[in-house]
Each structure stands twice: as structure tokens, then as C-alpha cells.
Chains A and B, each alone.
Chain A
Amino acid sequence: MAPTRPGAAVTFAGRSLRKSRPRYGERLIEVMLFAAALVSVVTTIGIVIAVAIPTEEFFRQISFTEFFTGTRWTPLFADPSYGVLPLVSATILITVIAMAVAIPLGVGAAIYLSEYAADRTRRVLKPALEVLAGVPTVVYGFFALKGITPFLRDIWPVGDGPAIFNALVAGFVMGIMIIPTVASLSEDAMSAVPRSLRDGAYALGSSKMLVATRVVVPAAVSGIVAAIVLGVSRAIGETMIVTVAAGGQANLSWNPLEGMLTMTAFIAQAGSGDVPTGSIDYKTIFAVASLLFVMTFALNLFSIRLVRKYREVYE
């Protein structure tokens, strides 16, 4: 058999293990990659700064009490009022309506996909749900405003029925949009529940329904709660559906048949107009954005911690 390294027997013995050439390139690459990873950190810092500075200036002119407890939101009037409660109440009302749709339908769909559906059905239905999440929200808003509301107004049995812009339809449509978020994270949590738990229950003679409701859901509850919290966060932060279909006038009301202005819709409305930098109108946008950011940030952190918790238990 031919030697595989003719003549090399002599040359190797004398060579030291020192680096044959200094490897600056490796170090440089590592630095560049780290810099790329820092972009995400810079983004968060950017958001915080972008939002905080005008907000701080805003609160130098407008008191906390007026902002947080005032019930009139009329920043464009000659005699402006900056009470944010109408915006917050609108956001909350629509979020509640949306979650009333998204939670039962989302968790229900998740239970079905996780416990009942055959593999083939799941492979078709899961992507179908994902498509729901992929439809641009402006399309949902359009359907709500031009498709559903007129229809509802036509068939409404008593009284006036929903206004052209109303919270009910916007909330309903938003709920449907959020179903994939709730369903997919809930289903993840349910799939993480070990087979052995289910098998134990089946072996004792439990039906599928009992196993699903008494074993799987309780075991996956922190994941399901995380999914719901994330859904709430999405509902609060959603802009286009409410901007198109919920209304453009601030309205402190709990009547879902009326139109109202949410925090996100206000930002969209005011921010898309021509607002000079440094004006109070400009700063108002950022003040509301701060509130929005803080609310969703807190919810997101909570949701992430919940997910970590359930992942730890089973992995």
C-alpha cells in the first residue's frame, strides 16, 4: 500500500505548535457579528428614547391628572382637553370584545388540533389557521366596515343598530384575527404535555373530553394563559382594524354599537397628518404611544415569563 505522505516523515517533527499565522480575521468577524446582534438592543433603546423624550416634554405642559383622569379628549379644539380615558376605554372595550371571540374559539381550536384531529387533518387545518394570521389587517378592517356593518345594520331587529363606525364589529373581526395567536401558542403548550399523563388517564377509562379538559388543559394552563396574554397584547396594539372600522371621534362610552377612538387609532390619525415637530400635537402622539408601549411591554414580559415557566417544567 502506497504511503500516504511520501517524504513527510522528516519535516513534521521539527515544527512547533505556534500559530502559523496570526488570525486577526477571526477576531474581526466575531466583533462584526456581535455588532449585528447589538442592533436589536439599539432598537429597543431607540424606541424608548423616541417615545420618552417628547412624552417628558408633554408632561411639562400637561399635568398627569389631566391626562390620566380627564374624560375629554379634544386636542385639536381651540380649547384643548387632554384626558386620555376615552382612548383607553375604547381600547379596553374593543379588546374585551375581541378576546370574547378569540379565547373560546382559539383555545377550542387548539384543543381540537391537539387532542382530536388526525394527523392529516391537522396538517391541513394548522396552515389554514396560519393564513388567517397572514391576512393584512387593513383587509380585516375593510371587511368589517364595508361588509359586515352594513349587513348588520340591515338585519338589526330593534332600535338603531350599530353605527357606521362601531366597536362591536371592529372587536369581533379583531377577535378572529387573534385566533391564530391564541391557538398556536395554546396548542404548543398542550403538545408539550407528556403522553404519559394522557395515557394514564385513558387507562383509567376516561373519555377524550375528560382527558382534554381535566388533564391536558390544566397541565398546559400556564402556556394557555401566556397565549391569552399575548393575544390581549396584540389586541391592544392593533391599529388598522380600529382605524378603519371603529371610528375617529373620541367617545367615552361602553356601548359597543357606537363609534370610538382607540389609542392606536389616534396615533395613526394624528401621525399621518402633517404635524410640525415640537408642537403640542406632535408630543401628544408620543404621550399616547408611551402609554401604549408600557401596557404592551408589561403584558409581553408577563407572557414570556409564563412560557419560560411551562417550558422548564417539561423540558
Chain B
Amino acid sequence: MTQHLESRFAALSQSEAREAALTIAGPDPAGPQPLSVPSPVFEMSDVSVFYGDYQAVRNVDLPVARREITALIGPSGCGKSTILRCFNRMNDLVPGARVTGKITFHDEDLYADYVDPIEVRRRIGMVFQKPNPFPKSIYDNVAYGPRVNGVKKGLDEIVEQALRGAALWDETKDKLTDSALALSGGQQQRLCIARTIAVQPEVILMDEPCSALDPIATSKIEDLMHDLAEDFTIIIVTHNMQQAARVSERTAFFTADVDEAGVRHGRLVEFDRTATIFSGPSDRRTEDYITGRFG
């Protein structure tokens, strides 16, 4: 096991060196960079995403720890959502999208030929930026996932458990047959979360889940995230630094380089424990972003 980790460490050290070479006058990282994590669920190595010929994100190395909340932060347009969509193969649905590099899920290559994207999405769920409940009843929304996965009996319990898990049961238990579209924005987003956990995934990906919501709804969802992290691994993309600081254990900071032609390419700059990123980041650019000098 240690050999495994060591060889991985060696590979990572090379990309680390690349990072260091590009860093502008940052303090020398003291000690090994924590680019490895305890019990990783995902390992992303040298991953780039292309749309046609355009390289949207390049050379990302990112491990994701089990039952932790990992935040992806950075200014707009630096590939955070693109990277997020790699984890559940939603980029497959974008015409012309191509993923290079290696992403493993429990040591299994996510993009191997034999892998079924449908199966991937059953194990790795996603909550979108704008709540997208189906135009059906609340019950049918939550039961949809289990139903398409072949579950025919015991739906009532599953729906209740899921709604409880999303802190929505008390507000909806008397109106399960009402249309989901009648709920408020924050409730709809929690419904989407309930829908996602009803299929009992292992991972929940969240793409700026609170950006369309008001502050009260946002804080309800942030509280929810802490509870969810007891059972699920969560990766969240967020524009809101304070949110990342509040909820996550580890944070990855992305930025965009502009090349000679003026084209933007996203890049991972720094990945560390959240506390470290926000108190003493290794890279100057991270520090600039955190302190608000740009982005």
C-alpha cells in the first residue's frame, strides 16, 4: 500500500515542480505538499478538458478525500464546473468535449472503455446551479431516481428518508402530491438534493448550488452539507470564498492563464486544507484571490 502511495507521490512531485517553477516569488513550500489525501475516492492525474480544439482546462492533479467536503474555487471561466462534470461523466453530453488524463474512482479508471456512464451517474450524483425540479409532484421527483434504477417497492420509505436527509421532510410531508414547482427556490434546491440522495450515491457533486438562492436559503443548505458529509463525499464548486471557508475541509484554487493569442485556459494553482489556503497559501495568486486583489 505504501509503495502505491509512494509511486503516486513521485508522479505528483513532478507536476508539483512544474507548479513551483511557475509560481511568482511565493514562499518555498516547507515540507511535502498535501497533494495526497487520506482514503481518496477520486484521483485526478494530469487531466485536461478540450472542447474541440480549445483546451478549456489543463493538467489538473486532484485527489478527493472520502466523506469530506472539497471546494473548488476561483474566478469565472477557469474550468471549475468543467472539472466537476468530469467526475460524473456529464461532459460526455457536451458535443465535442474530450477528456484526457486519468481519473480513478476507487482505483477504477472512470473513462475506461467498459465503463457505463449510466452506472457512474448512479454512484456519483449532481446538484445543479439553478434548481431543476421535474414538473411532477414532490413525491414523484424524489422517487424518480430509484424508479429509473429499478426500485419498485419501498418507495415511500426511500422518499421519506431522502426528504429527511435534505431537511425538507417537515415542510413537505403533508403535500407530497403537490407540484414541485410550487416550492420556493431554496426548497426546490433542497428537493433536488433529496432527489439526488434518494438513489444512495456515494458522492454528491454540487455546481454552485446556492448562487441562485437568497442568503437564508443558502445558510440552510450549508448546514445541510455538514450533515450530508457524514455519509457522502461532497465536491462543491463555488464562487463564494466565504462559503468555501465555511463548509469545506479541503480547497482547490483554480485560475485562468491567458496565452499569446488571448485565449483563456483554466489551471489548478493550489490544493490544500482549507485552513491553510485561507490563512497561509503557498502561491501568490491564491493569496491575491483570497484577499480580494483580483477575481
Contacts and interface: CB of A to CB of B under 8 A. Distances in A.
Contacts of A23: 118
Interface stretch (A1-9, A193-201, A305-313): A1-9
A4 B200 contact: yes
A18 interface: yes
Contact of A2 (B118, B164, B197, B200): B164
A9 B114 CA distance: 25
B119 A19 contact: yes
A16 interface: yes
Given A4-B200, A13-B106, A20 B119 contact: yes
Contacts of A17: 105, 108, 110, 112, 114-116, 119-120, 123
Main secondary structure of the interface of B (DSSP, over half): mixed
A5 B116 contact: no
B230 A3 contact: yes
A20 to B, nearest CB: 6
Query: Quick one: which of A1, A8, A13, A18 has the most chain B CB within 10 A?
Result: A1
B232 to A, nearest CB: 8
B161 interface: yes
Contact of B123 (A1, A9, A12): A12
B123 A8 contact: no
B153 to A, nearest CB: 17
B231 A18 contact: no
A23 B119 CA distance: 12
B165 A4 contact: yes
B108 A16 contact: yes
B227 interface: yes
B165 A1 contact: yes
Interface string B85-108: 000000000000000000001101
B200 A8 contact: yes
A16 B104 CA distance: 12
Nearest to A5: B200
B249 interface: no
B105 A4 contact: no
B119 to A, nearest CB: 5
A108 to B, nearest CB: 42
A2 B161 contact: yes
Interface in B49-66: none
Interface of A: 1-5, 8-9, 12-13, 16-20, 23
8 contacts: A2-B164, A5-B200, A5-B231, A8-B200, A17-B119, A17-B120, A18-B114, A19-B119
